[in-house]
Amino acid sequence: MAFNPADSSLLISAGRIDQFPSLPVPQAVFSGRSNVGKSSLINTLLGRKSLARVSSSPGKTVTVNFYKVAGKLLFVDLPGYGYARRSVSDKARWSGLTDSFFTKNPSSDLIKIAVQLVDLEVGPTGDDLMMIDYLNRSGIPFAVVASKADKPNKTARAEALGRLRNCGGIPAGTEIIPFSSKTGEGRDELWRLIRESCGI
Ligand code: GTP
Ligand code: MG
pTM over 0.85: yes
| Least trusted range by pLDDT, from 12-26, 89-103, 137-151, 181-195 | 89-103
Residue 166 Cα to ligand 1 midpoint, Å, equals: 25
- Report the length, in residues, of the chain: 200
d(CA 36, CA 59): 11
pLDDT band at 49 (very low <50, low <70, confident <90, very high): confident
N-term to C-term CA, the chain: 12
Nearest alpha carbon, ligand 1 atom 29? 148
Which ligand is the nearest neighbour of the Cα of 122? 1
Nearest to 74 by CA among 170, 182, 194: 194
pLDDT above 80 (res 1): no
Average pLDDT over residues 104-126: 94
- Across the chain, what does the average pLDDT equal? 91
Strand bridging mode 111-119 / 27-31:
parallel
d(CA 53, CA 39): 6
Nearest to 46 by CA among 200, 184, 196, 197: 184
d(CA 65, CA 88): 22
**pLDDT single digits (tens) 145-173:** 999 999 999 999 999 999 999 999 999 99
d(CA 179, CA 185): 5
Ligand 1 near 38 CB (within 6 A): yes
d(CA 15, CA 7): 24
State which residues have CB under 5 angstroms from ligand 2, the bound ion.
Answer: 38-39
- Enumerate residues 6+ apart whose C-beta is below 8 A from 51: 8, 9, 10, 42, 43, 67
Ligand 1 near 36 CB (within 6 A): yes
- For position 87, what pLDDT does the model report? 79
Ligand 1 near 33 CB (within 6 A): no
- For position 165, what pLDDT does the model report? 95
**pLDDT single digits (tens) 54-112:** 765 655 668 899 999 999 999 999 988 887 667 788 888 888 888 889 888 888 899 99
Residue 169 Cα to ligand 2 midpoint, Å, equals: 24
With H, G, I as helix, E, B as strand and everything else as coil, classify residue 135: helix
